[in-house]
């Protein structure tokens, strides 16, 4: 069964449609990049997934359940959302209680909550900051707090809007590791991003929106290697892939690591 499925979804904020019959299907354990030009409707689509918006027509199913008529809090157990800007999301007085909010909503026992919260904080590397006020942390760590909070909801689907924005290389690597471990736990990951280097590193499948529809749905590697197609869709090819192509490196590398390996093999 798919973890996330959109069937012929139409949506507009006013009379102009933003999404015009979007269909997609994501299985548990898949990590999917949601791509496309500015203003194409990526954030809109993610809000439909977590029931912050409802389709004009068509269906959204999360964990097999239709979101129609449901409020975001009803969907929260199935789909967690990491906002683009952590400050849109943070509200608690400590990192710990921010992350504990989801488990508490689910009425888990204090012991279970403690285990889940510690695990989530450990996964994002913030276990030492449990008692700190989220706003006393730098922006990059505030982002990690919201990721930990989403993980603590133990969702079937994790939706992230620009998860690497404002993070340094180490932070991006950490997010990539987190997403990888979540997919190993069979979570479906849908990440909106403009960062194709991150896509190449961390997200195996790419869905590109153009003019309200799905214009590409396939391996992110193929997309990243097809510079002409990628540019047509308004995407910027990551430097490592562009470098690999310019040097004609064997094995068509797209990740930094692969470029390094290809260069080593050349000598």
Q: Which does 18 bind (CB under 5 to 8 A by kind): ligand ATP, Mg ion, none?
A: ligand ATP
Which residue among 18, 147, 191, 262 contacts ligand ATP (CB under 6 A)?
18
- For Mg ion, give the closer residue by CB, 44 or 67: 44
State the binding partner of 193 from ligand ATP, Mg ion, none, CB within 5 to 8 A by kind. none
Binding-site string for Mg ion from residue 32 to residue 61, where x marks contact by CB under 5 A and - marks none: ----------xx------------------
Could you tell me which of 88, 83, 72, 99 has the C-alpha nearest to residue 154?
99
Segment 162 to 181, residues that bind ligand ATP, using CB under 6 A? none
Residue whose CB is less far from ligand ATP, 43 or 183:
43
Which one, 162 or 201, has the nearer CB to Mg ion?
Answer: 162
CB 42, min distance to Mg ion, A: 5
Restricted to residues 178-207, the positions that interact with ligand ATP (CB under 6 A) are: none
39 interface partner picked from ligand ATP, Mg ion, none, CB below 5 to 8 A per type: ligand ATP
d(CA 202, CA 161): 15
Among 2, 44, 89, 113, binds ligand ATP (CB under 6 A): 44
Is 15 one of the binding residues for ligand ATP (CB under 6 A)? no
Structure tokens belonging to residue 202? 């961390």
Q: Which of 1, 15, 39, 109 binds ligand ATP (CB under 6 A)?
A: 39
Take residue 164 and report the two structure tokens written for it.
């690497």
User: Residue 117 CA to chain centroid, in angstroms?
Assistant: 20
Alpha carbon dihedral 186, 26, 205, 200, in 10-degree steps, equals: -50
Site residues (CB under 6 A) for ligand ATP?
Answer: 13, 18, 36, 38-44
Site residues (CB under 5 A) for Mg ion?
Answer: 42-43
């Amino acid at each position: 069964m798919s973890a996330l499925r959109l069937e012929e979804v139409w949506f507009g904020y006013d009379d102009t449609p933003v999404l015009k019959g979007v269909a997609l299907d994501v299985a548990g354990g898949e990590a999917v990049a949601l791509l496309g030009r500015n203003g194409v409707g990526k954030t809109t689509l993610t809000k439909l997934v977590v029931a912050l918006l409802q389709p004009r027509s068509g269906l959204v199913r999360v964990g097999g359940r239709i979101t129609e008529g449901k409020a975001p809090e009803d969907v929260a157990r199935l789909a967690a959302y990491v906002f683009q800007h952590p400050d849109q999301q943070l509200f608690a007085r400590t990192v710990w209680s921010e992350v504990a909010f989801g488990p508490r909503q689910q009425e888990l026992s204090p012991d279970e909550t403690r285990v889940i919260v510690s695990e989530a904080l450990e996964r994002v590397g913030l276990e030492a900051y449990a008692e700190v006020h989220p706003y006393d942390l730098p922006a990059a760590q505030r982002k990690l707090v919201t990721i930990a909070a989403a993980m603590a909801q133990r969702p079937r689907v994790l939706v992230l809007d620009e998860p690497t924005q404002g993070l340094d290389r180490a932070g991006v690597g950490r997010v990539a590791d987190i997403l990888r471990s979540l997919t190993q736990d069979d979570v479906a990951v849908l990440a909106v991003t403009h960062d194709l280097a991150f896509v190449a590193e961390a997200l195996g499948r790419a869905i590109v929106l153009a003019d309200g529809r799905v214009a590409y749905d396939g391996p992110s590697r193929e997309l990243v290697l097809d510079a002409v197609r990628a540019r047509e869709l308004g995407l910027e090819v990551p430097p490592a892939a562009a470098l690999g192509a310019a040097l004609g490196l064997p094995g068509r590398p797209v990740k930094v690591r692969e470029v390094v390996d290809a260069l080593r093999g050349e000598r």
